[in-house]
Structure 1
């Protein structure tokens, strides 16, 4: 894949380059990396090359507007910025990340992804640790990939962890994809929106 195409996707947010090769092997993943954006790879689909965005406590592909509050001059980044620390995934912020990604793989959660802010409590069956990058720089949670389902917030595709359910919450048209991590060299610190805020 030509990374000039990728760079164009992230140009409004930061300078982009291929993720540097991690030291992970096929048996052990990289659990520390960042800051980075996530680009979906699913050829011949509406989500191919889509950026992952964050809004209203969820993660999405093809989200028209995040409405994030970011530091610095210029426009807010078009996609969310992440950091991976000891197997925990955060939305990037300085001086420290305080919005953390969770996964609910229970029968009720069906793989839903969300994020909590600060010391906000997690949902009952939420899991926080288990994220890693594989040797191809694809993000996974405890070895499981991600899927996206259409017709969500502002027409975006909602991101879920794959738990063997093709239609989480009964949604139709869901697609698995490779969430490729793209290193960002000039990230912006942002706070992403929550329900009712």
Structure 2
């Protein structure tokens, strides 16, 4: 009886080890897709309130005239699409393509908070975060400065007063609007 019990237990142990070895390993979880979004300016009573932030000629803009928008897109361009990866703000250029990074020319780099994009940069690229459906850089708001054509160039508030050319500059917040069907675009840099 003892020999029979031992034989049955030993056989069961070998069978379970064999099954564990032969069982396929579970597939690794897929990488999480980064949330794609557009940005909308929020400043009540401002001419650009609820306007979309767009990218063109290496900078970010509000109320940019259609004839000045300059992007090569894989579909009909609606608005500029962004996403955040490792605290970097990027312009969406397809799921597997290279993306253009947004960088801030902060006083550390001799700038006044201008926002530019390139594939490489010496400016500050990290510390972008979405919190309470708002995007900020280093916990700072955004600044819009009027231009002669009615558009507004967009800066990050770097704690420096932006002046020159009789421009009106006002702070605002950038609201995140989820894009369920983002359009891949490459934006001009000059």
TM-score clears 0.5: yes
1:146 corresponds to 2:142: yes
Where do 5+ consecutive residues of structure 1 fail to align? 1-31
Larger RCO (CA under 8 A, 6+ residues apart): 1
1:137, CA displacement in angstroms?
1.0
Alpha-carbon deviations, 1:3-33, whole Å to 9, x = none?
A: xxxxxxxxxxxxxxxxxxxxxxxxxxxxx95
- Cα gap change, 1:182 to 1:97, in 2 (>3 Å): farther
1:167, CA displacement in angstroms?
2.1
More helix as a share of residues: 2
Q: How far apart, in 2, do the equivalents of 1:33 and 1:48 lie? A: 27
Q: Would the aligned equivalents of 1:111 and 1:160 in 2 still touch at CA under 8 Å? A: yes
Q: Would the aligned equivalents of 2:112 and 2:162 in 1 still touch at CA under 8 Å? A: no
Partner residue of 1:131 out of 122, 128, 136: 128
1:70: which partner in 2? Answer: 73
Alpha-carbon deviations, 1:81-114, whole Å to 9, x = none?
A: 1011110000001123421100011273111100
Partner residue of 1:158 out of 150, 153, 156: 153
2:179: which partner in 1? Answer: 184
Q: What secondary structure, in the 3-state scheme, does the structure 2 residue paired with 1:96 have?
A: coil
Alpha-carbon deviations, 1:127-176, whole Å to 9, x = none?
A: 11110011x21111111111110116x53101111012232556631111
- Cα gap change, 1:33 to 1:177, in 2 (>3 Å): farther
- Runs of 4+ aligned residues of structure 1 deviating over 6 Å after TM superposition are none
Q: What secondary structure, in the 3-state scheme, does the structure 2 residue paired with 1:40 have?
A: strand
Q: Would the aligned equivalents of 2:40 and 2:52 in 1 still touch at CA under 8 Å? A: yes
Q: TM-score, normalised by structure 2?
A: 0.75
Equivalent residue pairs, number:
154
Q: Would the aligned equivalents of 2:58 and 2:189 in 1 still touch at CA under 8 Å? A: yes
